[in-house]
């Protein structure tokens, strides 16, 4: 049986948690570290804490978090010192989601691609999270795509994320004076709106084709708010992925829409396996 545990999913706007068998609690993120301390203190005998975090994490430390204020960068040491005997693990939220989908689909090699505020990915290869030397593997949103007079959060001006993410599309909307429509709405808008929407589809398909060609996954899961909210975008992207991807790897890969409600939270529990 699992030891008494708590699992957290910390994002820019959401704070979710559950105990090992309990229901999921959803709060707005305020001061997440204080929220977390309150939750831990209200549970007795906790032995394990797993955290899925929307930022870059390395060896228990938060390296960067574009949308979240962080007081204690070394959050693992902070919590283990505050609660002696408790084992803490923290991992990037998409890497946690990849673990959750690995369990869901029962394949050892899978990828996830998320188009939300940002554009990110994570892969599990032969059962293990693909990390790289600094746990930065998967920052697909910052692959160069084409130059545009905008600046990405990373400082470059050509990132995929500037073309295929909620934040990037918002920047394009300002730059080109586009209407306040969704990507699907732009597909039927004026010339510039159509161009922006078609480019978003192309950039997203390019990201997916990179995932499949480089990692050769059995399953590629695509999700995130922009993906969920724009069915026309989904329809446009799928044939483009087929056209751009190395054909034998494409043939082996099932492309599916994300369908787990709390994938990062599920993955936070799997950090202990």
Residues that bind Zn ion (CB under 5 A): 142, 152, 154, 156, 159
User: Least CB distance from residue 116 to Zn ion, whole Å?
Assistant: 15
Q: Tell me how far apart the alpha carbons of residues 273 and 270 are, in angstroms, rounded to a whole number.
A: 5
Q: How many CB atoms lie within 10 A of CB 39?
A: 19
d(CA 80, CA 75): 8
4 versus 12: smaller Cβ distance to Zn ion: 12
Of the pair 11, 141, the CB lying nearest Zn ion is at 141
Q: How far is the CB of 132 from Zn ion (least distance, A)?
A: 16
Q: CA 25, 28, 33, 39: dihedral to nearest 10 degrees? A: -30
Q: Which is nearer to Zn ion, 43 or 156 (CB)?
A: 156
Smallest distance from Zn ion to CB 238, Å: 25
Structure tokens at 186: 């732009």
DSSP 60: T
Beta-ladder partners of 6:
19, 49
How is 107-140 classified by DSSP, letter by letter? Answer: -SSEEEEEESSSEEEEEEETTEE---TTS-TT-G
Q: How far is the CB of 141 from Zn ion (least distance, A)?
A: 6
Least distance CB 64 / Zn ion (angstroms): 12
Measured from the CB atom, is 50 or 153 closer to Zn ion? 153
- Considering the complex, state which of residue 159 and residue 258 has its C-beta at the smaller distance from Zn ion: 159
- What is the chain's length? 273
């Amino acid at each position: 049986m699992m030891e008494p545990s708590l699992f957290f999913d910390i994002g820019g706007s959401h704070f979710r948690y559950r105990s090992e068998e309990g229901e999921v609690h959803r709060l707005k993120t305020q001061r997440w570290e204080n929220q977390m301390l309150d939750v831990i203190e209200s549970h007795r005998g906790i032995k394990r804490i797993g955290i899925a975090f929307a930022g870059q994490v390395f060896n228990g430390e938060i390296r960067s978090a574009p949308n979240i204020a962080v007081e204690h960068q070394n959050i693992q040491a902070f919590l283990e010192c505050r609660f002696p005997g408790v084992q803490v693990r923290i991992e990037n939220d998409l890497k946690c989601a990849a673990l959750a989908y690995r369990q869901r689909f029962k394949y050892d090699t899978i990828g996830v691609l998320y188009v939300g505020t940002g554009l990110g990915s994570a892969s599990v290869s032969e059962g293990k999270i693909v990390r790289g030397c600094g746990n930065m593997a998967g920052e697909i949103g910052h692959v160069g795509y084409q130059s545009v007079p905008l600046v990405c959060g990373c400082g470059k001006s050509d990132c995929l994320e500037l073309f295929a993410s909620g934040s990037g599309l918002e920047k394009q909307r300002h730059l080109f004076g586009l209407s306040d429509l969704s990507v699907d709405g732009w597909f039927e808008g004026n010339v510039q709106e159509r161009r922006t929407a078609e480019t978003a589809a192309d950039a997203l398909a390019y990201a997916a084709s990179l995932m499949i060609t480089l990692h050769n996954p059995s399953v590629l899961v695509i999700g995130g708010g922009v993906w969920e909210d724009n069915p026309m975008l989904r329809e446009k992207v799928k044939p483009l992925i087929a056209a751009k991807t190395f054909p034998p790897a494409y043939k082996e890969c099932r492309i599916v829409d994300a369908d787990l409600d709390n994938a990062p939270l599920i993955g936070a529990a799997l950090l202990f396996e």
